[in-house]
């Protein structure tokens, strides 16, 4: 009897300690889409040294120009994606009150709006999986899962996100969170 498909959309994937040497070493990925056709996600904890205004050749509002650009994944690093959150987004595509977008025009429109509760995070590139690929990686326990929250997605300290979530998952993950990048440092 075939196993029923379980979507990971709206979940966080964390390197479970088996992705050393790969792009995904110590990453936290938000799964934005996941179905039988494959999966699409954005790495939340890879801020770049680049401001959005330096990366995009467009007439951007000042509030957007000064934000940090994130490296969303190794696929199509010239592709634009963004996550947009606000208090009430009834038809949000990723999870309650969190929308995924790819249009520069829509991003500019959002930045020009005057919502004080709005949050936006912009990414270059994305993480993509072909049909069954993510499911196979989950079976091999390459990833740990954790429920996504807006606070985690828009954390002011993205470089600590992987460790923060692992510590919150309990004592069995604390050792993994404290393992040095290079084991020779031990």
Residues of the domain holding 98: 11-185
The domain that holds 109 is classified in CATH as 3.40.1740.10
Euclidean distance between CA atoms 177 and 167, whole angstroms? 7
Q: What is the mean pLDDT of residues 138-166?
A: 95
Assign 91 to helix, strand or coil. Answer: coil
Q: pLDDT tens digits, residue range 63-92?
A: 899 999 999 999 999 999 999 999 888 889
pLDDT of residue 185 exceeding 60, the answer is no
pTM for this entry: 0.92
Assess if residue 6 is contained within a domain: no
Residue 5 placed within a domain:
no
Structure tokens at 73: 């994944």
Spell 24-36 as b/e; 16+ CB within 10 A means b.
Answer: bebbbbbbbbbee
Instruction: Quote the number of domains for the chain.
Output: 1
Interacting residues of 55 by C-beta distance below 8 A, sequence separation 6+: 69, 124
pLDDT, residue 182, reads 59
pLDDT digits (tens, 9 = 90+) for 29-76: 999 999 999 999 999 999 999 999 999 888 888 889 999 999 999 999
Residue of 39, 37, 38, 21 whose CA lies nearest to 29 = 39
């Amino acid at each position: 009897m075939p196993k029923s498909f379980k979507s990971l959309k709206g979940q966080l994937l964390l390197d479970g300690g088996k992705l050393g040497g790969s792009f995904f070493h110590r990453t936290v990925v938000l799964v934005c889409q996941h179905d039988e056709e494959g999966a699409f996600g954005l790495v939340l904890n890879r801020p770049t040294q680049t401001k959005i205004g330096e990366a995009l050749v467009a007439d951007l509002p000042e509030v957007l120009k000064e934000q940090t650009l994130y490296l969303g994944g190794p696929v199509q690093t010239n592709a634009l994606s963004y996550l947009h959150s606000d208090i009430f987004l009834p038809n949000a595509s990723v999870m309650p009150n969190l929308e995924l977008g790819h249009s520069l025009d829509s991003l500019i429109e959002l930045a020009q709006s005057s919502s004080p509760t709005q949050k936006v995070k912009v990414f270059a590139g994305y993480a993509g999986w072909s049909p069954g690929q993510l499911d196979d990686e989950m079976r091999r326990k390459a990833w740990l899962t954790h429920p996504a929250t807006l606070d985690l997605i828009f954390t002011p300290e993205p470089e600590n996100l992987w460790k923060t979530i692992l510590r919150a998952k309990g004592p069995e993950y604390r050792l993994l969170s404290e393992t040095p990048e290079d084991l020779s440092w031990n």
